[in-house]
Chain A
Amino acid sequence: MIFNGQEEERAVVGVILTDALGRVLLQQRDERPELPYPGWWTLFGGTVEPGETPEDAMRRELREELDLDLPVTHWRTFDCPVRSEPGQVRTRNHQFSARIDQPLESLTLREGQAMRFFEPEQAATLELAFAQHVILRDYLRDVGGIDVGSNLVLLEPETTAPGQRYPLVIFLHGSGERGDDPALLYRHGLPRFLQTGGLLPESAYVLIPQCPTDSRWEYLLERLDGLVESTIHDHPIDRNRVYGAGFSMGSLGLWHWADAYPDRFAALLPVGGHGFKSWGGAHFVDPARTAGRTPVWMIHSAADEAVPVSGADDFSAALTAAGVTFGYTRYPDATHAQTSDRAFWDSIHYEWLFGQRRRAPGVRGVDAVARMFEQAKAESRSAFLPYFPIGFPNYTESLAAVEAMAAVGVDGFEIGIPFSDPVADGAVIQEATQIALDNGTTVRQCIQAVRELRGRGIDQPMLLMGYVNPLLAYGIEAFVRDAKAAGADGLIVPDLPPEEGAAFSEICRREGLALVFFLAPTSSAERIALVAPQASGFIYVVALTGVTGERSALPADLTTFIQRLRAQTGETPLVMGFGISRPEHVRMVRELVDGFIVGSALVRAGRDGSAAVRGLAEALRRAVDEE
């Protein structure tokens, strides 16, 4: 859950009461329909009254509910997901523990319909009101050493070729197949398809774990992920082709799993279930964030009597709004169970699934920039780094433009932070960044943009480009850290020559971000010798004296200029910018430098929307390779 700090704060308390044998005392709530969670088991606790400390409140609640005056020990404080709504309310749940030595018979229950001691193993399988089971499970695991187990079946290919690696499909079943009987596993979905003779598009391992009765997949994520890791270790499995399929409750589990472990799956196939807003260990599933990182194809039926289609429709709308690409099969008339049969018997879904490959896991910062150049070099070409400012023509459209360019295979991005006085920029970028400022674009939003773009699965290096004053106003240290946390890889500051950049350099070096410095046609040999060793990531080579902007022609003496630089800059990649706007310019510089930047021309295209940006980026990208 991401809070913005503006929420109204509320506080609740709860206590885990254990006896000498480690048994947990729980209370059963009244069966009154006006109450939330009627009849559910719950921890003792309540709301903190004004003027009370959490500890006072907890002891008062124990007096009121159990007529007991017990010393309590603070254990942890959580955000309560059930009673919080980001932007509105943030409820802090202060959890205490206490030892209770009184026998049950001597206790007086003043609230709720019943209470009893549960063995820790049993307590760990319960689902409690207000999602408190997550708290109790954490407590039992940390304090009581209780683990939550599951059965599993691993289906292997009939034969495996030496040296060959195979995909792994994990299937998470629905709520009816929980328990200890492996036979239950074949009732629905992929296992039934395989048992009745169905064939996958290619040989693969299939892992089918079983969820304990009364538990749910999202409580078992750590264990499930560990299971996959050990399966990959023990068998010839292609780590980049691990697929998740699920039915009903299993689909919910998949969403949570992929959200918590974004590098795990190459793709997901959730059938008859979705990641509805529910407690998931620590947060809700954000569909755009999750599907932005892991490709998803949802399957649901409008006639599903068990899991209403509205949840899947909501997810579909959220993904569409966020611009995330996804698949959605929506049957008009299938029941819940029939959805499973249809979905897992339809070869289209398997073909899509097996066609997906995991994106390279997150190397970030200066290493990601280095890797970008290595990759381009391995393909004997120059890297293409487009510039685009956040907030132009508006926030959403600027992200769409970056995303459109990512889709045509550009190598990295210069993400512009608008400034009121951009002295290094020509008219097109000045005008665009002024529009961005008029739209209220802030430095914080630009950092947030990087986070959102990463959430949509954009893996290319992103360097934030901004003038020095807004960065100073934000605080250099805070800026570098926040930019890094959002997924940025480096920094370009056009009015920061290295002699003014000591503080930036030190922080970037410590945080592993690239800090790009510039060299220009006016740079002397002494100047090159001074600047080159300070640059990290790459050196930004200004193609011509002047500001950014499109030119009909580039200077004729670029080759001499680059040779002069190369003699002193060694292995540091050289990236050329200023004035490059047309495919013929790209053809001119692509042999000369390790990368090139195009800004103004793309920003101008941005006036006509992201499709125009995409079109130009595609043409420029093609010019990198074509004869």
Chain B
Amino acid sequence: MLGMETPNGTPEAPYIQVNSTDVPDARGYYGQYGGRFVPETLIPALDELLAAYQDAMADPEFQARLAYLQRTFTGRPTPITYAERMSRALGGAQIYLKREDLAHTGAHKINNALGQALLAKRMGKQRVVAETGAGQHGVASATACAMLGLDCIVYMGSVDMARQQPNVFRMKLCGAQVVPVESGSKTLKDAINEALRDWVTNVRSTFYLLGSALGPHPYPMIVRDFQSVIGVEAREQIVALTGRLPDTILACVGGGSNAIGMFHAFRDDEHVELIGVEAGGRGIETGEHAARFADPSLGRPGVLQGTRSFVMQNADGQIVNTHSISAGLDYASVGPEHAYLRENERAYYTYATDEETLEAVKMLSTLEGIIPALESAHAIAEAIKRAPTMPKDSILLINLSGRGDKDLGTIMKELGI
């Protein structure tokens, strides 16, 4: 049951459940993945963040405030949509979409941004820094900060700024300062580096609002917990709608926050198959992709940006440039909990190429009238491959993590519309 705010502001049950699984351990590890590989200056800040987070989660008032804003500001719960024509067209599994694209700002990112921004406010940190890839987390952060009266600085790779123009405008409109990052590959990874450098410099006054389930402990846990609302809602909704749990769940995986938020509530439902879809870019054999799990020649356990996980690197341990048509999946590492779920075979990971992704955008738009974000379309692409192989009475649940408005430029160019 989701805890909902009552008239006097106290929920019947906590909106966000913490410590609901055995991971991470006290050191922030998910099996052999995770940890805190950061400069010493940040260690006290991470300790402070962890303490503040635990304190907030134990505070019914904080939980109630978050639940209230999720309902009245974000528009939760988001619905589940039965994709009837698409199911029929593919001729197999019945396809359901968890509509995170309908959340305020157009993606699941707001769930975490709102939670962390409330935490920043509670910790008395007026200045918030964030990184962004596709711009969805940047927009969510800018929005939450605007609503809560916090100063927001968003670091964004200049390559990503070019391909996600509408989101840059949205952030600026909400009063955020968008700082272009020119170092490295000028994408998400480099934006995180710059955000970390800002944080290490202004650590006493600044809250780092990290947008995906990665980075040093406790970030992967905090982001997962704030995103777990996706799975909690979806689990209740699909049961209410169909009378049972889904057979298979699909979600795209960049850093992996929408996937972990969806998977989390189903972890103990052993017969529910969990599948993450990485960015296959121009194909694994080209090396131009961001499929950390699919390419053993590049994706190996390593340490990037504070956490030990699968990392795309060369033989000398230098991080390689990744490629994806979707800025949000274009990242060299993946959240540590995904590496852990994969190792324990609780979740499986596959990939979709740029080309398959564009086909999926087209199909979902024409058959269902829903334009998915390029990120989310990776999960749709996998459904196109998988649904026909599944029985007609099986249920395939897809986390439609965001809407495609931000990608119209790219999509129109690629599809020649």
Contacts and interface: CB of A to CB of B under 8 A. Distances in A.
A519 B40 contact: yes
A472 B149 CA distance: 43
B313 interface: yes
Contact of B316 (A443, A518, A524, A542): A443
A423 B193 contact: yes
B316 A470 contact: yes
Contacts of B304: 421, 469
B318 A500 contact: no
B318 A437 contact: yes
Interface residues of A, number: 40
A444 B317 CA distance: 12
B315 A542 contact: no
A435 interface: no
Interface string A506-546: 00000000000111111110010001000000000010011
B184 interface: yes
B303 A495 contact: yes
Contacts of A472: 302-303, 317
B180 interface: no
Interface string B30-44: 000001111111111
Contact of B36 (A497, A520, A531, A547): A497
B197 A497 contact: no
Most buried by A among B183, B197, B201, B306: B197
B126 interface: no
Interface in B3-54: 27, 35-45
Contacts of B305: 421, 423
Contact of B41 (A426, A499, A520): A520
A494 B303 contact: no
Contact of B40 (A422, A517, A547): A517
Given A495-B37, A518-B40, A420 B184 contact: yes
Contacts of B408: none
Nearest to A498: B40
Contact of A523 (B44, B183, B193, B197): B44
Given A421-B189, A518-B39, A426 B317 contact: no
B316 A423 contact: no
A546 B200 contact: yes
A424 interface: yes
A495 B39 contact: yes
B385 interface: no
A470 B189 CA distance: 17
Interface string A471-488: 111100000000000000
B200 A545 contact: yes
B214 interface: no
A496 B38 CA distance: 6
B18 to A, nearest CB: 22
A240 interface: no
Contacts of A517: 40
Interface string A418-454: 0111111010001000100100001110000000000
Interface of B: 27, 35-45, 183-184, 189-190, 193, 196-197, 200-204, 300, 302-306, 311, 313, 315-319
Given A546-B200, A546-B201, 14 more contacts: A421-B193, A421-B305, A421-B319, A423-B39, A472-B303, A494-B39, A497-B37, A497-B43, A499-B36, A500-B36, A500-B37, A520-B41, A531-B40, A545-B202
12 contacts: A423-B39, A444-B316, A469-B313, A470-B317, A496-B37, A500-B35, A518-B39, A518-B41, A519-B40, A527-B44, A546-B197, A547-B200
Interface of A: 419-424, 426, 430, 434, 437, 442-444, 468-474, 494-497, 499-500, 517-524, 527, 531, 542, 545-547
The 4 closest A-B pairs by CB, nearest first: A473-B317, A470-B317, A518-B40, A546-B201
